[in-house]
Amino acid sequence: MSEFGPEGLCVEDLRLLQGKFELRGSFRAPAPGVTVVFGPSGAGKSSLLRVVAGLERPASGVIRYGDEVLEDVATGVRRPPHARDIGMVFQDSRLFPHLTVSGNLEYAVRRCPAERTRPDVSAIAEEVEISHLLERPVGRLSGGERGRVALARALVSAPRLLLLDEPFAALDGRLRRSFVSMLGEIAKRQAIPMLVVTHLIDDAVELADHVVALRDGEIVAAGSAHEVMAGGVFGDLLDRRDHGVRLTSGALADEDSPHAGKGVWLRADNVLVAAEEPRGLSARNVWPGKLAGMEVEPDGAVVLRLACDVGTVLARVTAAAVRDLELEVDQPIWAVVKTHAV
Amino acid sequence: MLSAEEWTILGTSLSIAGRAILFSLPLAIAAAWVLGRSNLPGKSLLDAIVHLPIVLPPVLVGFLLLMIFGRRGAIGAWLDETFGITLAFTAEGAALATAVMTFPLLVRSIRLAFEMADPGLLEAAAVLRAGPWDRFLSVALPLAGPAILAGAVTAFAAGLGEFGAVIAFASNVPGETQTLPLAIWSAMQQPDGEALAYRLGAISFTVAIIGLAAAELLQRWARRRHAG
């Protein structure tokens, strides 16, 4: 972890007790960059964010930002949430119902310390696409609009670190994709370090420079997205139908803007395998490679490990397919992927 | 429509109930916040003290006020010597007695408003750099505002009818402490006072209905505000 500079968040030997639930572990979220907190529901992702924001009191551990100690249970140091300079976007938006949209934004701007560069509210409103909503009471916003206003409010408060607790959880399909893309763009343009909670692998891959993986309250892996997502521990956190590999952005032919993030997740279920070079296919990605390994799953399906130029790719096929193609380890194969399947 | 005497009685009532609410509102807001939102030790004791006026006979409350705030009472003597303030048998005393009697009602409605407010909004304010007082003044209080007003109006309407504690502590001085219920009681004591008692009763009834209607309107506003 020494590759990271002094800037950023550092959490050491954290222990948080909530009834029978216990959250524990250490991680770093380097700045700048987006760190995704990933794990199944109930793993403790939101609790982790709440501890960092100062909304929960840990039983032990140290939380630092740069050189500054925000919390050290052993020495009794504790900065309250309002003095941490850490912003947060909650899952349920938490807009102030007695204020309009612009009232909510002003609330944040007024409390931004004078020594900070005042954020350009209208530029952020434009970027988050809420300029037309400014005079609206928050009671008359849709779910997606509420999420965007909550994001804008957090951005105009100009925190040194922004925590996002699945702000797109309530959105589905296209709306969620566009929110995630927008978030990635903003992280890049505003150069604001973010800690983003999600349980959806596609969102995690699109946003993450770094990953903190959580299971049953334990931080089981933390590091660069490339490293952590390639590890077996990470694979264990996924649903069976989500098993796959992370490809860096640009690996797929004709990749369009919704996938212009940090990477894409290629599910094993979305990869076809050919024993001979296929021709005349509509699929835009045909990658020659070698069959590097086979693993039979409990239900009889076989996961093939394919060593291709773009990296290792997984393909889940039936046992019958393996028999018919007479597949053997080390033989040449072609992996076939539709761009839109990703 | 109303006689000069009736106007005086109504004016005395409105002024005493109004002062009672103005005086007790800040304290009621503080008590409601402690009871509804804080984790301070001794909350149950405070809760019991706040609700005492509901369960004690009003006359006893008036008597206790006399013992404490009367000229020879512990606080009353000090107020008299230090500031020359006398409460017993004055309009200010009537307002104090009314304030004590309506205090539980006021605290209950304000506490409900504080409890109804989403604690998540206070967390949202905290991560936007609002300190505890700032959060209270900029989020909790404005959100509870309509409900506080509704509680104040209800307590005001109830205060107009306060009898036992007022008569015990402030007596029944026309033009000074004689409120509507006291005047009705006085009228009932006179052989030919039945007509006046009816008229005063009608005034009382009208004012109470206006108060309740206003409180209901404010409550609806409060609910809309929380629905956000």
The string of pLDDT tens digits covering residues A236-270 is 899 888 999 998 877 777 665 444 578 889 999 99
Inter-axis angle of helices B141-160 and B91-116, nearest 10: 140
Do A185 and A229 fall within a single domain?
Answer: yes
Percentage of chain A exceeding pLDDT 90: 68
Question: Which residues on chain A are in Cβ contact (under 8 Å) with B125?
Answer: 96, 107
Contact B123 A83 (CB under 8 A): no
Look up the CATH number of the domain holding residue A304. 2.40.50.100
| pLDDT at residue number A273 | 94
Question: Which residues on chain A are in Cβ contact (under 8 Å) with B139?
Answer: 96
pLDDT of A276-291, one tens digit each? 999 888 888 899 999 9
Asked if residue A198 is part of any domain, the answer here is yes
Among candidates B127, B143, B226 on the partner chain, residue whose Cβ is nearest the Cβ of A88: B127
Asked if residue A71 is part of any domain, the answer here is yes
Q: Kindly report the nearest CA distance between residue B32 and chain A, in angstroms.
A: 21
Question: Which residues on chain A are in Cβ contact (under 8 Å) with B121?
Answer: 94, 96-97
Contact B127 A82 (CB under 8 A): yes
Q: Which residue did the predictor score with more confidence, A341 or B196?
A: B196
**What CA–CA distances, in Å, run from A263 to A225, B163, B204?**
9, 76, 75
Do A112 and A134 fall within a single domain?
Answer: yes
Query: Is B152 in contact with B106 (CB distance < 8 Å)?
Result: yes
Do A57 and A174 fall within a single domain?
Answer: yes
pLDDT of B2-45, one tens digit each? 899 999 999 999 999 999 999 999 999 999 999 988 888 888 99
Among candidates A54, A84, A90 on the partner chain, residue whose Cβ is nearest the Cβ of B124: A90
Domain end position, chosen among A207, A238, A269: A238
Asked if residue A285 is part of any domain, the answer here is yes
Do A308 and A266 fall within a single domain?
Answer: yes
Asked if residue A151 is part of any domain, the answer here is yes
Asked if residue A2 is part of any domain, the answer here is no
Do A234 and A172 fall within a single domain?
Answer: yes
Contact A111 B130 (CB under 8 A): yes
d(CA B133, CA B149) in angstroms, rounded, equals 21
Q: Kindly report the nearest CA distance between residue B132 and chain A, in angstroms.
A: 9
Do A308 and A174 fall within a single domain?
Answer: no
Among candidates A87, A95, A97 on the partner chain, residue whose Cβ is nearest the Cβ of B127: A87
Q: Kindly report the nearest CA distance between residue B43 and chain A, in angstroms.
A: 23
Do A293 and A256 fall within a single domain?
Answer: yes
Asked if residue A1 is part of any domain, the answer here is no
| pLDDT at residue number A256 | 57
Contact A111 B139 (CB under 8 A): no
Among candidates A55, A82, A90 on the partner chain, residue whose Cβ is nearest the Cβ of B131: A82
ipTM of predicted complex? 0.88
Asked if residue A46 is part of any domain, the answer here is yes
Do A251 and A278 fall within a single domain?
Answer: yes
Query: Is A205 in contact with A342 (CB distance < 8 Å)?
Result: no
* Helix (H), strand (E) at residue A27: strand A21-30
Query: Is A9 in contact with A195 (CB distance < 8 Å)?
Result: yes
Mean pLDDT of chain A: 90
Contact B134 A111 (CB under 8 A): yes
Q: Grade residue A5 by pLDDT with cuts at 50, 70 and 90.
A: low
Bridge pairing between strands A210-215 and A34-38: parallel
Contact A97 B128 (CB under 8 A): no
Domain ranges, residue A221: 8-238
Do A203 and A264 fall within a single domain?
Answer: no
Name the phi and psi angles at A127, rounded to 5. -60, -40
**Number of domains composing chain A:** 2
Q: pTM of the predicted model, to two decimals?
A: 0.85
Asked if residue A87 is part of any domain, the answer here is yes
Domain end position, chosen among A238, A272, A288: A238
Q: Kindly report the nearest CA distance between residue A88 and chain B, in angstroms.
A: 6
pLDDT of B62-106, one tens digit each? 999 999 999 889 899 999 999 999 998 999 999 999 999 999 999
Among candidates B120, B138, B226 on the partner chain, residue whose Cβ is nearest the Cβ of A94: B120
**What CA–CA distances, in Å, run from B79 to B26, B29, B70, B72, B82?**
21, 25, 10, 10, 5
Bridge pairing between strands A272-274 and A332-337: antiparallel
pLDDT of A155-188, one tens digit each? 999 999 999 998 887 777 778 888 888 888 888 8
Question: Which residues on chain B are in Cβ contact (under 8 Å) with A111?
Answer: 128-130, 134
**What CA–CA distances, in Å, run from B83 to B11, B72, B77, B88, B168?**
27, 15, 10, 15, 24
Do A147 and A176 fall within a single domain?
Answer: yes
Do A214 and A113 fall within a single domain?
Answer: yes
Look up the CATH number of the domain holding residue A67. 3.40.50.300
Among candidates B120, B127, B143 on the partner chain, residue whose Cβ is nearest the Cβ of A98: B143
pLDDT of A125 above 90: yes
Domain end position, chosen among A238, A264, A290: A238
Do A268 and A195 fall within a single domain?
Answer: no
Cα dihedral B45/B46/B49/B50 (nearest 10): -150
Identify the structural domains of chain B with CATH numbers, from first to last: 4-227 (1.10.3720.10)
Percentage of chain A exceeding pLDDT 70: 96
Can you give the C-alpha Rg of chain A in angstroms?
A: 22
Chains A, B: CB contacts within 8 A come to 75
DSSP of A237-283 = TS-GGG-EEEEETT-STT--GGG-SSEEEEEGGG-EEESS---S-S-
